[in-house]
Amino acid sequence: MPISKGFTEADVPDQSGKTFIVTGANAGVGFEIARVLATRRARVLLGCRDQAKGEDAIARIRKIAPACEMAWLPLDLGDLDSVRAAVDIAGKEPRLDGLINNAGVMNPPLMRTKQGFELQFGVNHLGVFALTSLLLPKLAETPEARVVVTSSISHLKARIDWDDLNADRSYVKTERYGASKLANALLFFELDRRLRAAKSPVTAIGVHPGIAATSLGRHMGLAQLAGPIVGLLLNNPERGAWPALLAATGKVKPGGYYGPIGFGGIRGVAGEAKRAPHAEDPALAKRLWEVSVAMTGVDPGLPAV
């Protein structure tokens, strides 16, 4: 189906023989991505921290399709040691066709990752940067492998406080969330540029789920109470998964950005999405890349463009 008409779960082709990692796959949008890929006969590694939740998600999917091939992948994006361990496990797979970076945190009180980074920047960006970077060699073994990075409409008006990345001086949770999502947008933009310059077989694509009614907003307090009232305006988790499914399995442009194309870009079928001009700023993207290498100690080895 042409992207101009929109992409839904029904457009996901058979994925027999392919293997995907989906982070945050035990609930919400991540669960729906894993469900669709698994029921389309892909092998799916469900990356999440909690084994019980991961295995429960697998059991729920197997009720729909008992023959689905899935496994729990222990992964905590807030701990770079856990990221490295997950990469070691994934490296034993015969092939890896796609990494779908879906997991994230939204608007928590000030918290830190195991390595001491501000939680939202640490999990949403640094953990994703490290996981993606370390898996690039494995992905490159498979023709047409893809990396999907999940941003948000919150990136549109966000800015990164380069002088206080770790929130040592100030912390406004909504601003830090937006900054982490801008970082995601800059990441897939820069990753695409570097992969293409290096003639890598791996493609980088960005997505956003619109405004999906999921547990991601559990720190939003009273705002959650409005959920039943405004629910008709939001994407549910099933529809929120469509952009990532398009990016992972559909016809896309390298470095493209995809999201809902209905109701102001917050719900509906998936197609090409709007991103902020500063999310395509090569100087900002290069700066973020270099900062990320320094903070994580992980270098993808892709030279600057």
Could you give the residue numbers annotated as active site? 177
Q: Give how far the C-alpha of residue 148 lies from the chain's centroid of Cα atoms, to the nearest Å.
A: 6
For residue 140, the Cα-to-chain-centroid distance in whole angstroms is 19
Residues 6+ apart with CB under 8 A from 265: 153, 210, 259, 273, 274
CA dihedral 270, 276, 277, 278 (to 10 degrees): -130
The pairing of strands 257-262 and 267-272 is: antiparallel
AA letter at 129: F
- Helix-helix angle 173-197:282-296, to 10 degrees: 100
As to burial, measured by CB atoms within 10 angstroms (0-12 exposed, 13-18 middle, 19+ buried), residue 287 is: middle
**109/219 Cα distance (integer angstroms):** 8
* Selection from 87, 102, 99 nearest residue 191 by Cα: 99
State which amino acid sits at residue 65: A
